[in-house]
Amino acid sequence: MAAAKYVGNIIGNLMISIHEKRHISTKNMILLPHSLGSHVSGYAAKTVKQVLPRIARIIAMDPAGPRWVNKPCDKRLCKTDADVVEVLHTDVGGLGYEAPLGTIDFYANGGSNQSGCDSPEASKEFACSHCRSWAYVIEAIKHPNHFISENCNDWKTYQEKKKRCGNMSIALGDLEAKEGGVYYFKTHNKSPFAMENGEEEDSSGLASITRSSGLLIFISLVLLKIKSINIKQTL
């Protein structure tokens, strides 16, 4: 826990330095963390907002669950860390965090047992369901509006074909989406994973941040061990 805060503070101070030296607004900053990196990002964003306005967005890919459950908001990723905190859940009950953590929480295939991860080939992979989160986000970057998700009370309601959950639907990775709540979507068992494809439009997708004066930081930490290394020099 202390190591996550330590690294998060360093990343947060790096973002503050980039803002001061490169004049990049925090409203053009996005953190894209996976697993334990999600909670590191929470600390990073908290460091930034101590001296600057909150960053625009955190898109957390299956935040780590073990050892982080029931932690207070100031000691983990929290929906107040950025203007919008998107959380994609793919391995709840395993390596992922089960409860909603963000402004928007996506539960792919109900949040666990990802389609295709029970195949003989996938069984050889490390934490297949946990790692599917970044595979979905990569596809969402390439094809914005493909992972159309529906706001529902629970996975069972979403699966009942005779009922609609409501009129609220958003796409994973849509940078204009701000409607809070819990959303569900299904996937194919292999790439391309998206089943519900909207119109092909990339103006509001993640790829757009790389074409503008913005900052996109990817943080992937499944296991975090800090020994006698100078992380500031590494960064």
Paired sense of beta strands 82-89 and 169-171, if any:
unpaired
Structure tokens at 116: 């295709």
Active site (annotated) includes residue 35: yes
CB 58 within 8 A of CB 81: yes
What does the radius of gyration of the chain's CA atoms come to, in whole angstroms?
17
Which of the residues 35, 38, 41, 129 is marked catalytic?
A: 35
Strand, helix or coil at 87? strand
**Alpha-carbon span 53 to 72, nearest angstrom:** 22
Which of the residues 62, 81, 91, 105 is marked catalytic?
A: 62
Active site (annotated) includes residue 149: no
Amino acid at 201: E
Amino acid at 74: D
How many CB atoms sit inside 10 A of residue 11's CB? Answer: 23
Which of the residues 34, 130, 143, 146 is marked catalytic?
A: 130
Closest CA to 173 of 104, 80, 115: 104
- Catalytically active residues are 35, 62, 130
